[in-house]
Amino acid sequence: MASNETPRQWLKRTAGRGARWTRLSVIAGTLSTLVLLVQAWCIATIAQRMVIDGADFSSLTLPLMLLPPAFIVRGLLIRGRTICSARGGIEIRQSVRRELLERIAVLGPFWARRQHSATLSNRVWDQVDALQGFYADYRPQMLLCGIIPLIILVAVAPLSWAAALILIATGPLIPMNMAMVGIGAKKRQEDQFQEMGRMSRHFLDTLQGLSTLKLFGISKHQAQEVHTASESFRRRTMRVLRLAFLSSTVLEFFASVSIALLALYLGFVYLGQFHFGMYDHGINLFIGLFILILAPEFYQPLRDLGVHYHAKAEAEAAAEDLMPILNRRVFERDTDQPAWQPEASIALTLEGLSARYAGRASPALDNVTFELHANEMLAVIGPSGAGKSTLLNVLMGFMHPEAGGVSIKEGTRPPRALTDIRPDDWQRQIAWVGQSTVIVSGTLADNLRLANDAASDDALLDALEQAALKHWFDALPDGLDTRLGEGGRAVSGGQARRIALARAFLREARLVLLDEPTASLDQASERLVMDALARLSSGRTVVLLTHRMELLALADRVLMMDQGRVRALDTLDALRAPQGPLARPAATDIPERRDV
């Protein structure tokens, strides 16, 4: 995927994902034009024979029999063309949205957390949807613009070279107008997308901070700010629509003038004023009516292309915003690496590990070196900015170091570098419990099976018991089928945290990563979580980020970090000894906010 790819090139390349539907749409449009030739012949023949030739009714049998089926077939072909175009657009949108979500998953939650959620949702939904008009309407129409006018010219030219010349001379007026409109349309569409993103972020921030705004008495002022942002978006949207409608009006004008010129020529021929543009056969009623019936269809593809031209500008603006994510380079590992499954508990060795955030001069981790023994619980402490969360992101594979590395030792096998293990294999061996537990909209069983989709109901019940949720579960009205999340049963912070622990039990992972698992909990909930943590850590290697002295007592060793470096690593008793770094009372005041 070329990094210097333009939005137009990306749109063209992506069109191949729905190429079969585009081909079917173009074939249906072409066939409908051929059927129109049959309709025009039937109508012109009936008029010529009835009005001019005075032929009897029997000579009209063939055109009269062909005309009704031609109308029906053409209607079906037009409908089929519309359906195929829409299906093609839907298939491409689904493919792009799937690729976008997969790319976000590859970039990982560490990257996603640094993006505004409203902006991400706007890209995944609104901007991907903005591609529909281009693939369903504009692109098939652009292909038909090279086919339908050519078919009509081939039909008209043998009858009157002057009529064909008028069509050829006036046809380019419509594309020229589209080009002029397109210059400003794309810029306005880009401005509208930016304004939509800004309004989405503003509105989401207001909703999330509504309690604070109410308490400080500025909610009405903020409502006015939201109104101002939405009004600005409305004005930009109206400018885009005004441009689209005005361009359609101009296209209709040029098409009408072109058809009028053709009709004027035919009229002067019939009046005997013009004697050019015809062959030896002249121009009778059949020829004139046949040409006039086909003339609107000659311009119709160009008019439709002009109507859908704003869809091209909208799609290019959307593509320009989507491409930075889709083309973003990520850390790549060899996809041919063999599958990895540890046979025993794992130990980790971090040697010279350094990591840096983009745009930051100082490293978040600076030459971090230590060993984490198998089945050991290591507590990590330090002030905000010490590098604790960065360490977890590296261990989870969401952030890649710029120097040093991590090696894994399990059983009697030789150590393996983390980069030699496929990310999926490694992350399957990790159980994660953070400060904020995600409760998805679904049943309790659905929420638990996020950790192990093959877990049986008995395994779910056992995990709930291990996480001290048996009493809470017994009170649920529908057991494992009780709905949680939006529209379902509410759960407290302590219950949510223990649901996360139940997931960790179901995971059956070798490495457990815990980020402030008792933060913001009351004393009773904290005690339950701590008891569950003690059971969870049995037979597993655990890394625990905490500021709670009670949790430090569970750890085998404590790692103290400061400014991305290892300050001390020893048992809690040794660190609290008279000469240890935690000996003084002030030194035990470990900050309560986690590293961000």
The residue among 164, 138, 162, 140 whose CA lies nearest residue 152 is: 164
Q: What pLDDT does 1 receive?
A: 46
Query: Mean per-residue pLDDT for 348-357?
Result: 91
Arithmetic mean of pLDDT over the chain: 83
Q: How far apart are the C-alpha atoms of 76 and 99, rounded to whole Å? A: 34
Which pLDDT band, with edges at 50, 70 and 90, does 229 fall under?
confident
Query: Mean per-residue pLDDT for 237-251?
Result: 70
> Does the pLDDT value for residue 183 go beyond 60?
no
- Helical spans, DSSP H, in 209-218: 210-215
- CB burial of residue 433 (10 Å; 0-12, 13-18, 19+): buried
- pLDDT tens, 292-313? 999 888 888 877 777 777 788 7
Domain with CATH 3.40.50.300 in the chain: 346-429+553-584
User: When comparing pLDDT for 378 and 413, which is higher?
Assistant: 378
Please calculate the CA angle 348-354-360 and round it to the nearest 5 degrees.
145
> Does the pLDDT value for residue 40 go beyond 90?
yes
H-run or E-run covering 515:
strand 511-515
Residue keyed to tokens 């441009």: 243
> Does the pLDDT value for residue 358 go beyond 50?
yes
Local structure of residue 278 (DSSP, 8 states): B
- CB burial of residue 42 (10 Å; 0-12, 13-18, 19+): buried
Residue 485: left (phi > 0), alpha (psi -120 to 50), or beta?
left
> Does the pLDDT value for residue 533 go beyond 70?
yes
Distance from CA of residue 109 to its chain's centroid?
15
Task: At 62, give phi and psi (nearest 5°).
Answer: -65, -55
CATH fold for domain 7-326: ABC transporter transmembrane region fold (1.20.1560)
Residue keyed to tokens 């779910």: 460
> Does the pLDDT value for residue 86 go beyond 90?
yes
- pLDDT tens, 101-132? 888 877 777 777 777 776 777 788 888 888 99
Edge-first strand order for the sheet with 403-410 is: 365-372, 346-355, 403-410, 416-417
Q: How far apart are the C-alpha atoms of 477 and 595, rounded to whole Å? A: 39
Crossing angle of helices 309-326 and 173-208, in 10° steps, is: 50
Any idea which of 41-55, 149-163, 251-265, 387-401 has the lowest mean pLDDT? 251-265
Q: What pLDDT does 427 receive?
A: 85
Query: Cβ(193)–Cβ(321) under 8 Å?
Result: yes
User: When comparing pLDDT for 179 and 209, which is higher?
Assistant: 209
Q: What pLDDT does 594 receive?
A: 37
Task: Say how many residues make up the chain.
Answer: 596
Cα distances from 529 to residues 21, 76, 536, 551, 557, in angstroms, run 55, 65, 10, 10, 20
Q: Does domain 346-429+553-584 have CATH number 3.40.50.300?
A: yes
> Does the pLDDT value for residue 208 go beyond 70?
no
pTM of structure: 0.68
> Does the pLDDT value for residue 280 go beyond 80?
no
Local structure of residue 122 (DSSP, 8 states): I
Percent pLDDT > 70 in the chain is: 87
Q: What pLDDT does 192 receive?
A: 67
> Does the pLDDT value for residue 333 go beyond 60?
no
